[in-house]
Structure 1
């Protein structure tokens, strides 16, 4: 038996088969968590927002219109993170400040590599594009849908963001 696509499973979830949501959760919760963590560098916030994303997928399942599921899911993830930051008196532009916030008891379990430090210095929209495109492997067409732009504009923005990242990365070597 062939594995069903995310789109077929989500269509069945949208029709009321909520048990299948666990399949989508198993497939994608780490992708969502990793995206959120790379954007805000806060483990607890990333875990909370990941749960909120899948709750919203269930809650707004009727709004799914048979498009690319991953695009729809990451659009929800972006909106959940923005909503959370705004609710806590932060703008989307303040993501850089959140990136460096670690509590005293929370020692990073992974090394802060030079690349991650350079990535954290980018403005939030450039960082978001690179994380989605390079780390989450979202194609340009899907990325354009997620950020509400055209594919050509997204390619240009990603290219420019990569140039900025390269300049920052090699600045301190």
Structure 2
């Protein structure tokens, strides 16, 4: 028996077969959580937002239009993060904390912990839109075309924006490395 594609499964879900959502959840919940965690840097918030993503998948299943499922679910995740960010922005003047990752939450060795902490601090200094592009492309390994679909842009524009975001990250990373010495 051939394995069903995400799109075929989602069509079944949109037609009322909610049991099939378990397969999509198994395939995507870790990816969505990781995406949101890289954006929020808060495990509990990321878990809540991940639940919100799948609740919206159920709620808006009839609006799925046979397109690329990964793009559709990442668009939902991105919109949920955006809403969360705007709410946090109103409540506080900043959202991203400068504290480093907890070594209990991510598997890292002692030799690269300092570098990872420094990278996370540099990422936190970028605008959320730049950080989002880097997380999607470099950490989640989402293709440019799919990111373009998620953010409603062109593939060429996404390539340029990712390149610029990486350049900014390098500048911040090496600038703060120099300042810490």
| TMscore range, shorter length | 0.7 to 0.9
Task: Tell me whether 1:163 sits opposite 2:167 in the alignment.
Answer: yes
CA RMSD of aligned residues (A): 2.0
Give a deviation string over 1:27-74, Cα, whole Å, max 9, x none.
Answer: 110100010010011111100010010010011001101111111001
Q: Which residue of 2 aligns with 1:77?
A: 77
Q: Distance in 2 between matches of 1:87 and 1:169?
A: 28
In the TM superposition, what whole-angstrom CA distance separates every residue of 1:74-121 from its partner, at most 9, and x where no partner exists?
Answer: 100011122233345539xx6xx322177xxx9562455222221111
Match of 1:151 in 2: 155
Structure 2 residue aligned with 1:115: 119
What is the DSSP-based 3-state SS (H/G/I as helix, E as strand, rest coil) of the residue aligned with 2:174? helix
- Residue 20 (structure 1) aligns with: 20
Q: Which runs of 5+ in 2 are unaligned?
A: 107-112
Does 1:129 find its partner at 2:126? no
Structure number with larger C-alpha Rg: 2
2-structure distance, mates of 1:89, 1:166:
26
Q: What's the CA shift for 1:8?
A: 0.7
**What is the aligned counterpart of 1:140 among 144, 148, 155?**
144
CA distance in 2, matches of 1:99, 1:83: 15
**Is residue 115–residue 169 contact of structure 1 (8 Å, CA) maintained in 2?**
yes
TM-score (norm 1): 0.88
TM-score, length basis structure 2: 0.84
2:35 alignment counterpart = 35
- Structure 1 segments unaligned to the other structure (5+ residues): none
